[in-house]
Chains A and B, each alone.
Chain A
Amino acid sequence: MAMLLFVLLGPLVWQQDPSQQWLSQVSSGPTSGIYARVVGPISTKGVGNVSRLTVLESNTERVQLAWPEVVSVERFRLYRAKQHQSGKGLPLWQGRGRSYTDELQLRRQIYRYTLVDADTGMMLFSTETRPEPAISVFEAQLQELIPASATVYPEYLRLPAHPLGTDALGRDILARLMAGGRSSLFVGIVAPLLFISFGAIFGGLAGYIGGKFDQFAMRSADFVVALPFLLFMILLRIAFGIGPGQDGILPLILAMLLLSWPSSARLIRGQVLALRSQPFIDSARLSGVTTWGIFRRHIFPNVLPVLMVAFSFAIPQAIFTEAFLSFIGMGVSPPSTSWGAMCNDGIKTLLSHPGQLLWPAAMISISVLAFNILGDALRDTADKRSGGVGQ
């Protein structure tokens, strides 16, 4: 029953994380996107005569408007409103001219422009327009969609898709999620792997050798445990420092290794002590099995399930720690990113664009949840199997 649970649940849980990593390889390629008009500098050709408020050009780079002369109106004022917004909306401009180019944060939605007499406030014209997607020549060149030297360029360009949109700096969130996931999961898995192996070896030796070495090991474990964990994570992270061009992952892992080994060391020491007094170890020794043989054949297989459980619970802990440190800016440093760092970016634009926080947050939560469930399943399996050696 327990094995069934383990076999069924294990792969199910594991699926989630590799899939995120697998996607990361294709993240940069354009999949499907929108066509955008390539917009050059504003043409300086004359506006010409219009009979009412007219949209000459309408795309997300700019909306160009022109209107006729009106008798007895000296100064005009132009307002812009979103379609469903009541009132005239945002005052854009005021002056004597007869044309205006709106370049203020245009999106692909319907806008209503209203022209009024600036002195009397009387409404003169109103018109609606929906800007089409566009990209400026400059940006297209910057992103190498068209050659920088080109003077002739296509009218439309196909832009890469951003299924989850872009962040405050215009970077694709999906791609960053994947890149961030790589560092988050890397830290989340490698750090526990290291500190648990180290703790296990240290604790195992302490338990097996006993005596002075054991005392020394356990005293030092006591002291490390007494240190406030996150405070010293921060402190050690500063102490190790990072040079320019480094992503800060290595210091993070080192700090975790230094601070987290005692729990697994204690656990394994206890296990080894309990095992060592078991009759089957004595009988193995009596029948001439070497110390190494006993370790390899008897102790290791018995300790392994416990280690696996500890490992699967250490992973979510490590992911959390990384996220916390990155969130306060003490983790992975730019240009590298991690889910925690993305949350840090995202929280600044939370009110206008909650997605920038929610996506990386969801990633953290799902992976932590997955590993927690995996750990629970592993623990149940181990509990049922062990029986003999008490926890």
Chain B
Amino acid sequence: MMIKFVLHRLLWGAITVWFIATATFFAMHAVPGDPLIQDKAMSPVVRAQLEARYGLDKPLSQQYFTFIGNMINGDFGISFTQENRRVNDIIREHFPVSATLGIAAIAIALVGGVLAGSIAAHYRGQWPDKLVMFMVVAAISVPGFVIAGLAQLIIVKLNSAAESTVLPVAGWGGVNHVWVPALVLGLGTLAYLSRLSRAAMLEVLSSDYILAARARGISGVSLFFRYQLRNALLPVVTELGPAVAAITTGGFVVELIFAIPGLGRYFVQAVQQLDYTVIMGTTVFYGAFLVVIVVLVDISYGLIDPRIRLSAGRS
């Protein structure tokens, strides 16, 4: 039953990735202007060589099939602006950095959000609830890049007040380089998830089965984890897919501001320099990555909620 469910999701994912790749390809080829125009003047010979190298001399349909074929083989081509650098290498080199940051951010958002939401729900209408909800509204209304900038400003003030480097302002390296950007990156999602888990937890708290469990003498930690949290997590898990997407794109900005050598920063640079292959490669890569995440979330939702698993298996 479960296998069928998983296969179904995987097939859906594959089709979506193909669609993303196709859309990317045609979007990029609809760009007005000449992809090879750069500052330097080019002799016709050099130009012809470059065209041959990037396959630009072939008809569009052939380019498309080459592109899709290469994609299937996991080959994204060569960068336009950083010559001789393969897009695969760029991804391989910089994605782990983004992933580290993203995983840290997701972890912070998930744990913080669920915790804050649960606390707010348990103290409904009292000051912890009001505090959490106020922070949620504040965090949702402020763009990520502003939070990033402010965080940097605070770090600078902190460092100058302490007259030593308490926290690094930017860059990449040790643990201290990770957690501030990760917090900044996760903050919006954290706020969103706390609102969500607060609502879910409120519903759980007013449910019969919590009352029944308490009437059976279940209390404290086991009541919270086994009964309340487990049921309140369901709606949160469904939102993890969008949350990962938000953190991925949010990462572009945070990596830019904190000067972190992640894939997001390279993507933004590529966009600004119109580096076609890098844009296409990273877009498809990110698209595929997000699809994989969505499929994983679907599957894990099936694991948590037995109703989904069984109904999907039966249908």
Contacts and interface: CB of A to CB of B under 8 A. Distances in A.
Q: Are A and B in contact, CB atoms below 8 Å, in the complex? A: yes
Interface of A: 223, 226-232, 234-236, 238-239, 241, 316, 320, 323-324, 327-330, 340, 343-344, 346-347, 350-351, 354, 357, 361, 364-366, 368-369, 372
A328 B268 CA distance: 7
B155 to A, nearest CB: 10
Contact of B20 (A228, A346, A369): A228
Given A228-B287, A229-B245, A238 B253 contact: no
Nearest to A360: B146
B287 to A, nearest CB: 5
A142 B293 CA distance: 57
Nearest to B283: A231
B28 A364 contact: no
Contacts of A223: 16, 19
Contacts of A241: 31-33
B73 interface: no
5 contacts: A236-B27, A238-B28, A327-B145, A330-B271, A350-B153
B290 A228 contact: yes
B149 interface: yes
B286 interface: yes
A350 B152 contact: yes
A151 to B, nearest CB: 43
A340 to B, nearest CB: 8
Nearest to A368: B141
B284 to A, nearest CB: 10
A328 B33 contact: no
A238 B282 CA distance: 15
A361 B33 contact: no
Contacts of B248: 228
B137 A226 contact: no
B142 interface: yes
A12 B177 CA distance: 43
Contacts of A351: 152-153, 156
Nearest to A366: B141
A228 B143 contact: no
A226 B19 CA distance: 9
B23 interface: yes
B16 A226 contact: yes
A361 B268 CA distance: 21
B33 A239 contact: no
Contacts of B145: 323-324, 327, 343-344, 347
B249 A228 contact: yes
A357 B286 CA distance: 30
Given A238-B274, A327-B253, A350-B152, A365 B16 contact: no
Interface of B: 16, 19-20, 23-24, 27-28, 30-33, 137, 140-146, 149, 152-153, 156, 245, 248-249, 252-253, 256-257, 268, 271-272, 274, 279, 283, 286-287, 290-291
Contacts of A230: 249, 252
A330 B152 CA distance: 23
B153 A354 contact: yes
Contacts, number: 110
Contacts of B249: 228-231, 324
Contacts of A316: 141
A107 to B, nearest CB: 21
A132 B145 CA distance: 38
Contacts of A234: 271
Residue of B19, B245, B271, B286 most packed against chain A (CB within 10 A): B271
B141 A235 contact: no
Given A239-B31, A372-B141, A232 B23 contact: yes
Nearest to B249: A230
Residue of B23, B149, B152, B274 most packed against chain A (CB within 10 A): B149
A235 B146 contact: no
Residue of B32, B143, B253 most packed against chain A (CB within 10 A): B143
A327 B140 CA distance: 18
List the 8 closest pairs (A to B, CB-CB), nearest first: A361-B146, A369-B141, A230-B249, A226-B16, A239-B27, A241-B32, A368-B141, A365-B141
A223 B144 CA distance: 28
Contact of A329 (B23, B153, B272): B272
B156 A238 contact: no
Nearest to B141: A369
B257 A347 contact: yes
Contacts of A344: 145
B36 to A, nearest CB: 16
B149 A235 contact: no
A361 B142 contact: yes
Contacts of A340: 143
A320 B143 contact: yes
Contacts of B23: 227, 232
A357 B149 contact: yes
A329 B144 CA distance: 15
Contacts of B28: 235, 238-239
Contacts of A365: 141-143, 146
A369 B137 contact: yes
Nearest to B145: A327
B80 to A, nearest CB: 13
Residue of B27, B137, B272, B274 most packed against chain A (CB within 10 A): B27
B279 A328 contact: no
Contacts of B257: 347
Contact of A227 (B143, B152, B287): B287
B156 A226 contact: no
A344 B279 CA distance: 21
Contact of B30 (A239, A327, A343): A239
Nearest to B148: A347
A324 B253 contact: yes
A223 B13 CA distance: 11
A337 to B, nearest CB: 16
A232 to B, nearest CB: 7
